[in-house]
Amino acid sequence: MTNPYLDIHPDVAQAIAQRRPVVALESTIISHGMPYPQNVATALQVEAEVRAYGAVPATIAIVKGRLKAGLTAAEIETLGQTGRSVVKVSRRDIPFIVASGSTGATTVASTMIIAAMAGIRVFATGGIGGVHRGAQQSFDVSADLQELAQTPVAVVCAGAKSILDLRLTLEYLETHGVPVVGYQTPWLPAFFTRDSEFKVDYQLDTAVDIARVMHAKWAINLHGGMVVANPIPEAFAMPRTAIDGAIEQALREAQQQGIGGKESTPFLLARVNELTGGNSLSSNIQLVLNNARLAAAVAGEYEALSASKPA
């Protein structure tokens, strides 16, 4: 039964009904991740990349109180123009935005929720949230991690955002039974860089291998999702020393300005972009496109496998 608050775009609904691959895409990257008009151009480019690789894109948001699995170009334009004035919506915020008839941009966590409602199993994003540096004192842990522990969606990303405490993020995911898969790598990518000092749980080298694990996990009725960590293409990766230096400075400035909670990630990413002369924004766009390509391939293999081996 379809959720009464959910609107599925006709193209997405048709693809789901016909068991064709669909890839969910978040909307916070549009409103909070990049400046206008680059945010709109990137969102449309990511959708086009998903289509080019054989899947149907479903950009997700809340529009005038309606949960949207798939946006029109006009809705994407509105989110991009409105920018950070749009509410950034995680799990806790959804009922308030819906009840008030407001518009909100979805994070990884809320995108997963709406994708699962619509029956979409694969989601492409830039990087997941995680345990923030200094969380021993602040208890600042992204809701993305808890969502991964309970919502059955595979999240294709460039690892965890490098502004985070990667070791504690991996510990949290392990505790909650969320597998972290490295696509063609044994190392956890760190968003702007292709690796880190931390290893993933499993390395899988093809989209079909990833799809087989997804199918097995959910056929066994194991709850939760999966992190598919896909390294940024080598041509667009940034030197770790340059990124680490920019992150350290941005973290100091955030602390001095009292910036925390859901405002910290947009601030840190924007400040790192400034400190790297705009290079990190260019890398961000390329890694999202790269993740969209892999997500489309995984979604295609998962649908093919599900058709031959129903869960």
Residues assigned a catalytic role: 26, 161
**Six token digits for residue 101:** 């008839």
Cis amide leading into 35 (omega within 30): no
Contact present, 247 and 190 (Cβ < 8 Å)? no
Termini Cα distance of the chain: 18
166, amino acid identity: L
Q: How many helices (H) and strands (E) does the chain have?
A: 13, 11
Q: From CA 30, how far away is CA 284, in angstroms rounded?
A: 12
Q: How many CB atoms lie within 10 A of CB 107?
A: 28
Contact present, 176 and 149 (Cβ < 8 Å)? yes
